[in-house]
Structures are given as structure tokens and as C-alpha cells.
């Protein structure tokens, strides 16, 4: 809208892009929130959610592998290119880092790996 001079806007954009200060700010908010919680409540909450969450992850993997097996898919492809990207959590935090790792480990182009992950 032109409320701030272009010099200020460009300097702010450059600062945020070069330092990733937003990630640090978000981490500080999360850590501060966790540290301010009552220790006993935090431990009880963790224990109550950890077992069901772990069971859900394991059942999700088993059901995914069973579905891949029923469809006649290769177990390696099913787990690493179907189940893991879905459970990893989205494009930015799941698919892109996985595709970079797959490209390095499997000696393939990162774009090809991302192309195999993204259709899911």
C-alpha cells in the first residue's frame, strides 16, 4: 500500500529471508509455552497421549503396507514413496526433505523423487 518506504520494506524482506528469524521466534514461543506449564501436568499429558499416538502410527503403517500388498505394489515403494510421505506431514516439511534425501541415497534426480512423492 506504500505506507512504508521501499528501503525499509526491502531491508525487512532481506533480513527475514537471510536469517530465518521467524523460525527462531516460533521456536521461542513454543519452548516458552512448554516451559511455563506445570511439570506434573506436562508429564501426565505426555504419558496419556504417547501410547495412543504410537499405536496409531504403527497401525497406520501396517494398514498402508497391507493396502499396498493387496494392490500388488512393491513393499519398498509402498513404504518409502506412499506411507512415509503421508505420515511425514505435508509438502514443505515432509515431501521436499524426503525427496532430497531419497535423491542422495538412491542416486536419482531430486525432481524425479519429488514427482514420485507429490501425487499422493
Q: Per residue of the chain (120 residues), what is the pLDDT tens digit?
A: 788 999 999 999 999 888 888 888 999 999 999 999 999 999 999 989 999 999 999 999 999 999 999 999 999 989 988 888 888 877 777 888 889 999 999 999 999 988 888 876
Q: What is the pLDDT of residue 2?
A: 81
Q: Same domain for 72 and 97?
A: yes
Evaluate whether residue 104 is within a structural domain.
yes
Q: What is the pLDDT of residue 120?
A: 64
Q: Same domain for 63 and 101?
A: yes
- The residues near 103 (Cβ < 8 Å, ≥ 6 apart) are 109, 110, 112, 113
Evaluate whether residue 46 is within a structural domain.
no
Q: What angle do CA 104, 105, 111 make, to 5 degrees?
A: 45
Q: Same domain for 61 and 99?
A: yes
**Short-list 74, 89, 75, 85, CA closest to 116:** 85
Q: Same domain for 20 and 65?
A: no
Model pTM greater than 0.85? no
Quick one: DSSP state of residue 72?
T
Domain housing 64: 51-117
Evaluate whether residue 42 is within a structural domain.
no
- Give me the count of residues in the chain: 120
Evaluate whether residue 43 is within a structural domain.
no
- Count of domains in the chain? 2
Amino acid at each position: 500500500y506504500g505506507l512504508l518506504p521501499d528501503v525499509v520494506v526491502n531491508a525487512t524482506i532481506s533480513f527475514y529471508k537471510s536469517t530465518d528469524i521467524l523460525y527462531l521466534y516460533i521456536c521461542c514461543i513454543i519452548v516458552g509455552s512448554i516451559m511455563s506449564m506445570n511439570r506434573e501436568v506436562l508429564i501426565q499429558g505426555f504419558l496419556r497421549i504417547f501410547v495412543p499416538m504410537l499405536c496409531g502410527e504403527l497401525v497406520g503403517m501396517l494398514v498402508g503396507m497391507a493396502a499396498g500388498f493387496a494392490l500388488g505394489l512393491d513393499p519398498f515403494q509402498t513404504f518409502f514413496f506412499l506411507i512415509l510421505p503421508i505420515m511425514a506431514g505435508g509438502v514443505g516439511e515432509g515431501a521436499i526433505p524426503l525427496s532430497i534425501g531419497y535423491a542422495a541415497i538412491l542416486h536419482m534426480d531430486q525432481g524425479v523423487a519429488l514427482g514420485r512423492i507429490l501425487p499422493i
